[in-house]
Amino acid sequence: MNLSLSLPAWREPARSNFHGVLMSVVVAVAAISLAEHYHVSAMLFALLLGMALNFLSTEGRCVPGIRFSASTLLRIGVALLGVRITLGQVSALGAMPIAMVVVSVALTIGFGILLARLMGYRNRFGVLTGGAVGICGASAAMAIAAVMPAQAHDNVKERATIFTVIGVSTLSTGAMVLYPMIVTLLGFGHEAAGVFLGGTIHDVAQVVGAGYGMSKETGDVATIVKLLRVAMLLPVILVITLSYRKDHAAADASGARPPLLPWFVVAFALLVGLNSAGLIPAALQQALQTLSTWLLVISMAAIGMKSHLKDFATVGMKPIVLMVSETAFLALLAVAFIYFAR
């Protein structure tokens, strides 16, 4: 009897979310297909296609599912990023790349906060853009936004996230083309070029494209350095969560503070540990990586649907200057580390 009575409780959320999730999946399929054809970020395509369908999030049957895709599916996708990383990959890099990544991520976020304040923005916009530039592009932007408290108006954080995703994806694509020419002009060898590309290009796909476009040796080093930057997502999210716990409590009607670590951060760390111990079979690891990519693209499509182009009409040049400056700052840090290590 209890089971039969509980069935509707399970069915109702699935029924209410179905249409919105389905539309988000459809947009994600189109975005990934376009990305494979044009070799541009799938998240960027998902965002733009989703924004073209923003009327679906205003009313109708798609609203709950779009909200679910932009929040819960996003967190699951972030958690599954843990299967990309092992502690063995990190230790195999040696001291210099590890020191470079740790210092450059911290300094880039700090530089982002400082520059954001000078431009009249709140600290959290500097954290969001600096984290996206310093860690892993659009994925980091979405993960950081997921643990930040809501703004006074619900659409402020989403608008900042969308702008960051557009900016970091565009800059990453440009870096994929420009940076290989820069390392050639600087006379970097395979290893140094890989350290630079992996330590500066924002998105994983663009790192792979730039690195292996130069040589297999450069691509291997660039990929491992990039994965180390992805691993920095865990401590950065932990610090951000602790920093904004009071703001989360203030936003909560009950005044209760959130957990010390969000569940998806705990899942991320657990997957890193299991992957490092070799307990995740290769086939399952590949499947979870693919699922993570799909979930992030689906959630980005949903975030796009919740946004309106008119919200960006007043953005101006300052946020663009902010992100370009963060990108240049990160590149200069990487060059300094490489020359210092010679």
pLDDT tens, residue by residue, 202-259: 887 788 778 888 887 888 788 888 878 888 888 898 888 888 766 655 544 444 455 5
Among 32-46, 62-76, 297-311, the range scoring the smallest mean pLDDT is 297-311
Q: Is residue 82 part of a domain?
A: no
Type and span of the H or E element at 10: helix 2-38
Q: Is the dihedral of CA 215, 340, 109, 310 positive or negative?
A: negative
Confidence of residue 163 (pLDDT cuts 50, 70, 90): confident
Interatomic CA distance for residues 248 and 289, integer angstroms: 30
**In the chain, pLDDT over 90 holds for what percent of residues?**
33
Among 146-150, 176-180, 287-291, the range scoring the smallest mean pLDDT is 146-150
The most confident of the ranges 138-142, 258-262, 330-334 is 330-334
pTM of the model: 0.75
Tell me the mean pLDDT in the region 17-43.
Answer: 89
Q: Is residue 1 part of a domain?
A: no
Amino acid residing at 177: V
Looking up tokens 């691509």 gives 219
Q: Is residue 51 part of a domain?
A: no
Q: What is the pLDDT of residue 3?
A: 46
Regarding predicted confidence, which is higher, 227 or 119? Answer: 119
Q: Is residue 22 part of a domain?
A: no
Looking up tokens 């923003």 gives 54
Tell me the mean pLDDT in the region 310-314.
Answer: 57
pLDDT tens digit sequence for 67-100: 899 888 988 887 887 887 787 777 777 788 888 9
Residue 334, CA distances (Å) to 24, 102, 199 in order? 38, 11, 7
> What is the length of the chain?
342
Residue 284, CA distances (Å) to 18, 42, 80, 279, 290 in order? 26, 23, 12, 10, 10
Q: Extract the tokens encoding 259.
A: 């957990």
Q: Extract the tokens encoding 281.
A: 């079979």
DSSP 246-302: HHHHHHSTT-PPPPSS-HHHHHHHHHHHHHHTT-S-HHHHHHHHHHHHHHHHHHHHH
Contacts 24+ apart (CB under 8 A), 55-60: 56/20, 56/23, 56/305, 57/305, 57/306
Q: Is residue 171's pLDDT more than 60?
A: yes
* Average pLDDT for the chain: 83
Tell me the mean pLDDT in the region 143-166.
Answer: 75
Q: Burial-class residue 22 by CB neighbours within 10 Å (0-12, 13-18, 19+).
A: middle
Q: What is the pLDDT of residue 5?
A: 45
Q: Is residue 15 part of a domain?
A: no
Assess contact for 226 and 204: CB atoms under 8 A.
yes
Give per-residue burial for 152-171: e unless 16+ CB within 10 Å, then b.
Answer: eeeeebbbbbbbbbbbbbbb
Amino acid residing at 290: T
Q: Is residue 28 part of a domain?
A: no
Give residues with Cβ within 8 angstroms of 288, minimum separation 6. 80, 83, 271, 280
Q: What is the pLDDT of residue 134?
A: 93
Determine the structural domain holding residue 230 and report its residue range. 88-295+308-341
Confidence of residue 9 (pLDDT cuts 50, 70, 90): low
Confidence of residue 200 (pLDDT cuts 50, 70, 90): very high
Interatomic CA distance for residues 189 and 194, integer angstroms: 8
Total tally of structural domains belonging to the chain: 1
Confidence of residue 127 (pLDDT cuts 50, 70, 90): very high
Regarding predicted confidence, which is higher, 322 or 93? Answer: 322
Q: Which of 303, 335, 309, 234 is nearest to 72 (CA)?
A: 303
Q: Extract the tokens encoding 218.
A: 């450069």
Q: Is residue 173's pLDDT more than 90?
A: no
Amino acid residing at 155: N
Assess contact for 193 and 183: CB atoms under 8 A.
yes
Q: Is residue 215 part of a domain?
A: yes
Q: Is residue 50 part of a domain?
A: no
